[in-house]
Amino acid sequence: MKRLLFCLFLLGTVHLTQAQYYKTDTARKKEFDASRLVIGGSVGLAFGDYTNIDFSPLLGYRISEMFAAGVAINAQYGAERFRYYDGTTSQRNQYSIFGGGLWGRFYPFDFMFIHVQPEYNFINVKTTLYNPKETYTDHYGVPSLLMGGGYVQPISDRAAINIMALYDVIQDGRSPYSNGIILRVGATLGL
């Protein structure tokens, strides 16, 4: 059930960006062009024994037809509950994550991109054990290097649907992305 909720959370992320798949105007290539700005991020929600609230904005610039780069912020709150066989709570973990990093995309084709996102997250964890009731807290930082690719399907001049699969190649044991593929499905909309 926890994995199903996590997958639904990841599939529910939405990316709002402006210039993800434009064609470059070679006459204005060296000037700043506001239409090349990439503004957006993701928002996600999951509730139940595994709860996650995610707000992760990003800002970037489409450098050329083939390259885009920028900065991303990661802010999450989560809680997970473990139960005994009779349904009573045995343990509850609450965590908050705040961090960010850089991201870059290479578009070998108009419809496909390679995504790289190094980031560093600060994580606060509060664990409550029941029977007897005890509480522990922990604070730590953890690096991640998300790498993968995605598919972009334009649906109008300023809107597209994108699907992305990422993997944390560092695989730190305390990473919020440990042991699995991160799937993100979203829409890109011109502002």
The string of pLDDT tens digits covering residues 25-52 is 545 556 788 878 877 777 777 787 888 8
What residues have CB less than 8 Å from 163, skipping those under 6 apart? 150, 151, 183, 184, 185
> For 21-25, 42-46, 181-185, which range has the lowest pLDDT when averaged over its residues?
21-25
Structure token pair of residue 58 = 């990003």
- Do 112 and 151 contact (CB within 8 A), yes or no? yes
- Do 91 and 74 contact (CB within 8 A), yes or no? no
From the list 43, 90, 36, the residue with the least C-alpha distance to 63 is: 36
Structure token pair of residue 76 = 């999450």
Give, for 53, the enclosing helix (H) or strand (E): strand 50-62
The string of pLDDT tens digits covering residues 63-92 is 998 998 999 998 999 899 899 999 888 999
Q: What is the pTM of this model?
A: 0.75
What share of the chain has pLDDT > 70, as a percent? 80
Half-sphere exposure of 125 (CA within 13 A, CB side): 17
Amino acid found at 144: S
Average pLDDT over residues 90-100: 93
Give, for 3, the enclosing helix (H) or strand (E): helix 2-11
Structure-model confidence comparison of residues 3 and 106, the more confident one:
106
- Do 46 and 6 contact (CB within 8 A), yes or no? yes
